[in-house]
Amino acid sequence: MPTDPTDRLDSERWDAAQEGAELLREGEADAAIAELERVLEADPRNPYGFHFLGAAHFEKSRFDKALKAYLSAVQLAPNYLGALVGVGHTLRMLGRHQDAMRVARQLLDRSATDGDALYLMGLSHYSLGQGAAAAEYFERFLSTSPEMEVANEVSGLLQVLRGNVERDTEAQQDARDRALN
């Protein structure tokens, strides 16, 4: 157990949010939301509770609620990169691509090889029809050795951008975006 009281409190907050996070991993988003709301009622300054609550609302396509929760996590813990990534993807799903790219730039300013930020930037450019920029970020993303499923999806998007596959209609792109998250 950490000896620094702030480390101990952080560890306790992480532990408190883990049941909700596990429910979310098991696909039980509604149960996760109920659990995380209970956690946040007990400790309204728990950034992990807000982060996982944002993820649960994102899973349910409740993007306004997801954004509010992710922003609460970032307000409580400005260096919580996972919450910033959540903010960016939620903004993207809300059609706020420029705002999503601003978040991705903040992440890339911290680490130019941040795979999550590169992926977010690529998807945002792709959604705006900015093929060359999307391809650049997708190629950089692939160089980070991402998980196979996401790497395959990005490889498919690169084929579309290179003209090897017909570009998706807007409805297909929306479905693809939902599938990516």
Q: pLDDT by residue (tens digit) across 87-98?
A: 999 999 999 999
What global pTM score does this model have?
A: 0.85
pLDDT tens per residue across span 145-177? 999 999 999 999 999 999 886 555 665 666 566
Res 119: pLDDT: 97
Task: Provide CATH 1.25.40.10 ranges for the chain.
Answer: 1-78, 88-181
Where does the pLDDT of residue 62 fall: very low under 50, low under 70, confident under 90, or very high at 90 and above?
very high
Q: Do 46 and 39 form a contact (C-beta atoms < 8 A)?
A: yes
Give buried/exposed letters for 75-94 (b at 16+ CB in 10 A, else e): ebbeebbbbbbbbbbbbbbe
What CATH class has 88-181? mainly alpha
pLDDT tens per residue across span 124-151? 999 999 999 999 999 999 999 999 999 9
What CATH class has 1-78? mainly alpha
Query: Mean pLDDT across the stretch 12-25?
Result: 96
26, 94, 98, 152, 163 from 62: Cα distances, Å: 19, 10, 20, 27, 34
Tell me how far apart the alpha carbons of residues 94 and 86 are, in angstroms, rounded to a whole number.
Answer: 12
Where does the pLDDT of residue 19 fall: very low under 50, low under 70, confident under 90, or very high at 90 and above?
very high
For the cut 90, the answer to whether the pLDDT of residue 180 exceeds it is no
Res 9: pLDDT: 86
Tell me how far apart the alpha carbons of residues 121 and 31 are, in angstroms, rounded to a whole number.
Answer: 31
The full 3-state SS of 106-160, as one line of letters, equals HHHHHCCCCHHHHHHHHHHHHHCCCHHHHHHHHHHHHCCCCCHHHHHHHHHHHHH
Query: Mean pLDDT across the stretch 56-77?
Result: 98
